[in-house]
Every structure is written in C-alpha cells, then in structure tokens.
Structure 1
Amino acid sequence: MSKLLPLLVGATAIALVFPSAFERYRANLVSEGEVERLDSPRPVVEAALPPATGRTVRLEAGADGHFRTLARFDGRNEDVMIDTGATYVALGEDAARRLGLRVGPSDFVYRAQTAQGSVRAALASVRRLSIGPVELFDVDVMVLQGQGPGTTLLGMSFLKRLARFQAEGGRLTLSQ
C-alpha cells in the first residue's frame, strides 16, 4: 500500500496540472465554430402485448345475405351483424347495459341516422372487442337511445382497423 500511495499522488498532480484530452477537444470545437452533437438515445417503447397479426376469421353469409357472428365485448358475448354502412359499432341501450357499457342520459349528445330514422346517440369505448382470434382494443361504439338497431351492428369503427376485410362469393374474411 505504501508503494501505491506515491503513484496515486503523482497521477493526481499530473491530472491537475495538464488539461484533459476532452477539454482540449472541446476547446478546439468551440474555437472552430463547430457544434457538438450527441445522438439521442433510442426511444423506449412500452407495450403490454405485441400487436396481433396474421389472425383471420371467415364468415358465411346467411340466407338473407347478411354476415352474422358472435363477438366478445370485454369478455361478454353478443350476436352481431357486420354492417359496412355503419360508421360505428352500434347498439341499443339495453345491449350496452348488458355488455357493461355505462352511459347516462346526459351522454346522448349526438344524432345518428338509422334505418328507422334519426335517434339520439352517445359515444363509448370497448376496451377489447373480438371475433374469434381477431381482437382489437379501445374500439369506439355508438350507443343509440332506446332499443337501437335491434341487432348490434359491427360497423367501420371496428372494420377499418383490420389489415383487411373482404366479401367474396358469400364469404367475408376479416384479417388482422
């Protein structure tokens, strides 16, 4: 230890007397008018689940030509009819209550045009909406005051978020 102490004292003295290589480098950059840049660190991406891809569901048209299936709204089953003419997933107040969506009288601030005419509507969100393996999160839904459309409509607020949906030959393919 006694042999190491003079060596440490000497190294400390030399470091104090002479500027460091970093200080000389920085002084050169400033005197030459260059701007010193540092690369930003890569952003951290947080995700609970990786996005699901490659999931597909094929539906057969019913005798009336419509595509009907069972969907899961936050874990609760609901019969739905696919409707590309509906801007949102649309359902009546009773269905909304059954599926755990909470909307009150003051939430009905919108007007929606349905096959039965104009009706008051409220916007809500479903945390997880799935048809078989096809699963989306935070899907906007429109709750129609009263009975609504009778059948819950799976509209474009769900369909447009898929990688692809295509109807051909009496079969509808939904791909994530």
Structure 2
Amino acid sequence: MMRSLLLLFLFAFTAAAVAAYKDPERVVRASDAVTELLRDHVEQRAHAVQIPRGQGGEFALRARINGIAAPMVIDTGATSVVLTYETAKAAGLPLELLDYDVDLETAGGHTRAARLTLDRLAIGKLVERSVPALVVPHGQMKTNLLGMSFLDRLESFEVRADRLVLHGF
C-alpha cells in the first residue's frame, strides 16, 4: 500500500513539474504514462497469488481441479503435478482407463504413476487448462503436489519473507 502511494506521489509530482512549464503536449504524455503505469501495477497485482509459509516450512494451498477443491503442497522438485488417487477420483478423472507405467520417486519411496491431463487447474485467480499431471495408486501418497508442469506456465514465482508469490500472465 505504501509503495503504491509513493509511486502515485512521484508520478503526480512529475506531472505537476511538467505542467509548471505550461507545455500541454508534455502534460498529456505525462498523464498517459502515469495512467499506463498505474494500470500495469493494478493488473500485475490482480494476476498474483500469495501463499503463506506453513509451520512446517511448506507452502500449502487449496487448488481447484476441474472445479473440485483439493489441498496441495508446492514442490519445485516435482517435474509434474502429482495427485493422490483419492483426489483424482473426487475430481472425476477416468481412473479405470489409466496405465500406471511411470516410475516415480517420492519422499515415501519408489512407486508407479499414471499420466493424464487436467482440464482445468486453478490456484486463486490463476487458471491453467490442459495441465499434464500424474496420479499415484491408492494409498501411495498423502499429499497432492503442485509441481513444475503448472509452475512453468506462470510468468514467475518468488519467495518474499514467509510468502510464496505466484505471478500469472
């Protein structure tokens, strides 16, 4: 908030200085520049999601997979989004058609997973379609992972203090 006010003050001061020289063309250009920068600032905030760090140091969130709420943990070491069998079933994914032919190393050890594509994966206002994902067999994992097959689609992500900020396009 303070950053926005400071930015607004600086632009107003610049516009006032240009107006003092009574050059209408410069005033219009300065006004357009201020409007564009403020619009960009607002749009950038609208396409960002902040996730607080959990007590265990993880960044946990509630995603929506094909419209169904699902808890997830962000894992930049995971090449893909990985869903538990239970979450995939709740999201209405075609589990009976899957072939568990992908070798997967998890924190709990070695398992096999099946490839699929999520129609829609949403984290707050950030929505991606046709996201590649993996599903593990029943009981193999307790947590859904938000891996790089989603994170790579973002403009950027960064850790600020105890918050992870996801920036969409």
Q: Could you state the TM-score of these two structures normalised by the residue count of structure 2?
A: 0.69
**Structure with greater helix percent:** 2
Q: Distance in 1 between matches of 2:73 and 2:141?
A: 10
> How far is 1:100 from its partner?
1.1
Q: Distance in 1 between matches of 2:163 and 2:98?
A: 41
> How far is 1:118 from its partner?
1.0
- What's the CA shift string for 1:10-32, capped at 9, x where partnerless? xxxxxxxxxxxxxxxxxxxxxxx
> How far is 1:105 from its partner?
6.8
Q: Distance in 1 between matches of 2:159 and 2:140?
A: 26
> How far is 1:120 from its partner?
1.1
> How far is 1:161 from its partner?
0.7
Q: Which runs of 4+ in 1 moved over 4 A?
A: none
1:91 aligns with 2:83: yes
> How far is 1:87 from its partner?
1.0
Which residue of the partner structure matches residue 145 of structure 1? 137
- What's the CA shift string for 1:95-137, capped at 9, x where partnerless? 2111111123751111111111111110011111011101111
Which residue of the partner structure matches residue 57 of structure 1? 49
- What's the CA shift string for 1:53-79, capped at 9, x where partnerless? 841101110111111111001111001
Q: Distance in 2 between matches of 1:167 and 1:102?
A: 35
1:101 aligns with 2:93: yes
1:1-176 matches, cutoff 5 A = 54=44, 55-104=47-96, 107-176=99-168
DSSP 3-state at the match of 1:109: strand
Report sequence identity in percent.
Answer: 36
Q: Distance in 2 between matches of 1:168 and 1:129?
A: 24
Q: Could you state the TM-score of these two structures normalised by the residue count of structure 1?
A: 0.67
Q: Which runs of 5+ in 1 are unaligned?
A: 1-52
Q: Which runs of 5+ in 2 are unaligned?
A: 1-42
Q: Distance in 1 between matches of 2:166 and 2:53?
A: 13
- Alignment CA distance shift 1:167-1:144 (3 Å): same
Query: One-letter code of the match for 2:161?
Result: G
Structure number with bigger Rg: 1
